[in-house]
Chain A
């Protein structure tokens, strides 16, 4: 119990009051500290809902969610989030965009003015980590999609969250940029003790990055299976071309396809 950073215990989440959409039901999962987990499932099954439950953006009607030993009843600022849409503010430079969370999170916001240099240094270091060194004074519209997503990652990490939640962050990128960013995330996870939970519809991405993969059923979503990914770390992109890797991807694909068919049959 104590080693779990995130515990989701038999949670139901319904949108729009009684009679609204039941997005997840009977959802149960645990994430250990420092672990890299991935969540896959048919679209509309409640993956984003899971993210929002863990970050405290939504509070479930049934069940409980615990993050770092505390039940989630409001947004938890030890979490960083990044979505598919990088949502950088176009009137701020990349650096100022990355510093934005510090203007919000209570414990940083008080120190920000006096310790600006220290924070800027930290942001520059993050930019370097994701391969954006020297781009801090560029505006978002001067960056390509992949670069914006790198900056988005920096923004999610600047307040040193214990838990990083990524909701299909690479969905809109081309295959090569996506692979580059996989390596960025892999190295980030390797170099820090951050816990990462990644929602993705790209099964290869899930298998390449995660220690464990949760497979969700069709809506209302719950976990129907959990896979442990056996590959040694640090992993090289080459691992994707092994038979074991392909088998695991194939398994996942079968499970999700099945969940989709069941949903379609239920709808008929």
Chain B
């Protein structure tokens, strides 16, 4: 990327009408996510009391909070474990996905050959792969990492390849007419152009990576939130199961927000130029 758009202050051009300063009032839109989350928990808490639901069916948020506090050391180690396997798998997916995406987008031949294979591979439920990974690598971190990798890597490949494949033919003609080689077209246009697609796919990929590592942990692991929830379930400790869910949600949201922030920082130009993919 030669010049990220936000490195220079962008003054409005003459024909862009400056918006008048908004009157000061409560920022409803900004507050909406918090308000809705609070509402969800309030309704949840109220319903549990109203319908007198037993704790082993649906524990109230207050009970779950109690469980989080009570089991904090366990929850913390397992949360860190899940975060660790997820992030390692995700990092591998980023490296592998970027490399394969560039390769696939590079040549029609590679694209035509690999695409059906990748579709087929992606169609396999990853839960079915875990037993094989266990045979190969035993119970532990490795199957969780690899499952996270396998499930997260596909959207990255597809997005990077899409960015490369959708170069305007006119742009390519202009450059080729000047004597540009394939490599020039890739470096000057293809790769910068596929970056918004790549960074856009990270949000999806990190979410999927959590799915992968937790699947693997519930099948074959001695630690991690998935394992912890499975153990808690077998002891009918339903509040702890829900505590694990809440921790997964928190980690997922935090990582998603991080990826969204990275996307915003790196490829702001795509949003302003309207080139961003719709997601």
Contacts and interface: CB of A to CB of B under 8 A. Distances in A.
Contact of B275 (A82, A83, A90, A138): A90
B261 to A, nearest CB: 19
B189 interface: yes
A87 B171 CA distance: 6
Given A56-B177, A142-B10, A144-B15, A91 B1 contact: yes
Contacts of A93: 3, 8
Contact of A106 (B8, B179, B189, B269): B179
Interface in B224-257: none
B274 interface: yes
Interface in B11-48: 12-13, 15-16
A144 B179 CA distance: 29
- The interface size bin for chain B is 20 to 34
A81 B3 contact: no
A225 interface: no
Q: Is the interface of A mostly helix, strand, loop or mixed?
A: loop
Interface residues of A, number: 37
Nearest to A93: B3
Given A96-B3, A142-B10, A142-B16, A104 B175 contact: yes
A90 B4 CA distance: 10
A92 B269 CA distance: 9
A139 B10 contact: yes
B108 interface: no
B196 to A, nearest CB: 9
B182 to A, nearest CB: 12
A103 interface: yes
A104 to B, nearest CB: 4
A52 B169 CA distance: 12
B170 A83 contact: yes
A105 B10 contact: no
A103 B188 contact: yes
Given A90-B270, A96-B2, A104-B188, A81 B13 contact: no
B5 to A, nearest CB: 6
Contacts of A137: 8
A14 interface: no
B3 A101 contact: no
Contacts of B173: 52, 55, 57, 81, 83
A237 interface: no
Nearest to A105: B178
Contact of A104 (B4, B16, B180, B269): B180
A82 B269 CA distance: 23
A12 B152 CA distance: 50
Interface in B162-201: 168, 170-171, 173-180, 184, 188-189, 192-193
A156 B269 CA distance: 23
A215 B185 CA distance: 34
B68 to A, nearest CB: 44
Given A139-B10, A139-B273, A104 B184 contact: yes
Q: Which of B16, B174, B269 has the most C-beta atoms of chain A within 10 angstroms of its own C-beta?
A: B174
Closest 6 CB pairs of A and B: A90-B273, A141-B273, A87-B171, A55-B177, A104-B178, A83-B170
24 contacts: A57-B177, A75-B177, A77-B177, A77-B178, A79-B177, A87-B170, A89-B189, A90-B273, A91-B3, A91-B267, A93-B8, A101-B174, A103-B188, A104-B179, A104-B180, A139-B269, A139-B272, A140-B273, A141-B272, A141-B273, A142-B13, A144-B15, A156-B174, A159-B178
